[in-house]
Structure 1
Amino acid sequence: MKTTLLTTKPILMKKLMLSAIAILLASASFAQAKWGVVAGPTFSSYTLKVLGSKSTSDIITNFRGGVTLDLPIADEFYVQPSLLYTGKGGKGDFLTRDVKTNLHYLELPVNFMYKPEVGAGNLFIGIGPYLAYALGGNVNGNSIDFGNQAGELKRFDVGGNFQVGYELSNGINFGLYTDLGLVNLAGDGDSDNSFRNTSFGVNIGYKFGGK
């Protein structure tokens, strides 16, 4: 039974992500839906717990970028799914060695947005969950193994994110965001052994069609 559950869960998560991407693409024809692009630096770290001893890595700089879609649901309120590439990881000491971990994710955040008119543009505030799939990764240049065994990391990450910023009437926008991983990514993780992602960064983007 345990083997079946371990095998089925990644398949279900992959189907869920593919379905969400399909919905994102299908929503492009939604009346008044607005596409955008976004990119910027992301500053990431991870929280590690080994045998109950908890530590947080140093921050490393990565890149985050992709496409967004604003779907109006009420006056000044939107649902914003996005499809992003995002780099995560961190740097720390392990057995007196400097260890740098780089992780590469395809990430699907779905934010509930409030965009009131302020001045010549719109303030925006968003909050929601994200689902991410690890495309790959390395530790000091050596490839990471993904799976559910000791020494491996789980491919699927789930967490929450928050963003705030400002959008000009010509469609140019900029803001800040933070992601907090909620899933224990350690392959054989438990309450005393865990690995969780955290990141924050700056976004610069453009909404096609302007205000």
Structure 2
Amino acid sequence: MRKLLVSLACFLLIPGPGKTQTRIGITAGGNLSNITWKQYSNKQNTRFLAGYQFGFTITTPINIYKRQLHIQPGILLSRKGFQQDYSDYLGNGDYKVAPYHIEVPVNFLYLIPNQSDKNVFVGLGPYIACGLGGQWEIRYDGNTGNFVGDIEYADISDQRPPQYNISDEAFNYGKRLDYGVNMLVGYELWRNLQVQAHGQLGLRNLAPPKNGVTGNEYFKNISLGISLGYLL
């Protein structure tokens, strides 16, 4: 088990010129996440929510047609979600939904040839993620107060009272398992430090099913972020 964890632990650390060994490191950064949400073709107005991610990766070089490519699996803990304007009989406010995910990305990286010792790279690859729960919060304007509750992953026929009722404990985030595509571009600042900008596009419709069938609702994750990585 320890060897498995070490092999998953890592970062986006790419070998410099003449280096061919596997590199292990750690990564951490911030993100802005949102959702694409439609109900019966009516688009819900949502906004980006600030979150974070951290974890480990392992980067291994592979040679294909004399190109310096790398494969980079990893394991990350991330906080995503969205926010939107909210209004009910208590007044107006801000509604935030912030789930946690364990993500396993597998990126393929390409080092862009250059004449310096620094590495510029781009990457693309799939990811799979599992929702771990989280919290929603309604923060009203003025002194009305705040309400908080949990996030659940459930069939509509099994869930607790409607998620938009402030007396309800849970927001139904739909399907727990998510998958999609990662895109990134990065730069090696110093020998052991790298910075990268990345985007993520969810491909699975996470809308809650009813009796096992997804209806006319469309609910997908998207995110943008920036992170730093350090070579151990």
Q: Tell me, yes or no, whether TM beats 0.5.
A: yes
User: After superposition, where does 1:1-211 map in structure 2 within 5 Å?
Assistant: 22=4, 25=7, 32-74=21-63, 75-94=67-86, 98-118=94-114, 119-140=116-137, 141-149=148-156, 152=172, 153-188=174-209, 190=214, 192-208=216-232
CA deviation after TM superposition for structure 1 residue 26, in Å: 7.3
| CA spacing shift, 1:198–1:60, aligned 2, 3 Å | same
| Aligned residues with identical type, % of pairs | 32
The aligned length equals 186
Tell me if the contact between 1:120 and 1:168 (Cα under 8 Å) persists in the aligned partners: no
Alpha-carbon displacement from aligned partner over 1:128-173 (angstroms, at most 9, x marks no partner):
0100011112221210121233663211110101000101451210
Structure with more of its chain in helix, by fraction: 1
RMSD: 2.5
Equivalent AA in structure 1 for residue 112 of structure 2: P
Query: Is 35-44 or 180-189 further displaced after alignment?
Result: 180-189
Q: Runs ≥4 in structure 1, deviation > 6 angstroms?
A: none
| CA spacing shift, 1:95–1:53, aligned 2, 3 Å | farther
Unaligned 5+ runs, structure 1: 1-20
| CA spacing shift, 1:26–1:192, aligned 2, 3 Å | closer
Equivalent AA in structure 2 for residue 145 of structure 1: E
Give the Cα–Cα distance (whole angstroms) in 2 for the partners of residues 24 and 127 of structure 1.
Answer: 23
For residue 208 of structure 2, give the secondary structure of its aligned residue in structure 1: coil
Partner of 1:9: none
* Structure of larger gyration radius: 2
Alpha-carbon displacement from aligned partner over 1:55-104 (angstroms, at most 9, x marks no partner):
35111111111111101111520000011011110101355553211010
Give the Cα–Cα distance (whole angstroms) in 2 for the partners of residues 79 and 148 of structure 1.
Answer: 37
CA deviation after TM superposition for structure 1 residue 24, in Å: 7.6
Give the Cα–Cα distance (whole angstroms) in 1 for the partners of residues 6 and 217 of structure 2.
Answer: 35
CA deviation after TM superposition for structure 1 residue 191, in Å: 6.3
Equivalent AA in structure 1 for residue 178 of structure 2: D
Partner of 2:163: none
CA deviation after TM superposition for structure 1 residue 185, in Å: 0.9
Give the Cα–Cα distance (whole angstroms) in 2 for the partners of residues 49 and 190 of structure 1.
Answer: 13
Equivalent AA in structure 2 for residue 76 of structure 1: Q
CA deviation after TM superposition for structure 1 residue 23, in Å: 9.0
CA deviation after TM superposition for structure 1 residue 27, in Å: 9.6
Partner of 1:18: none
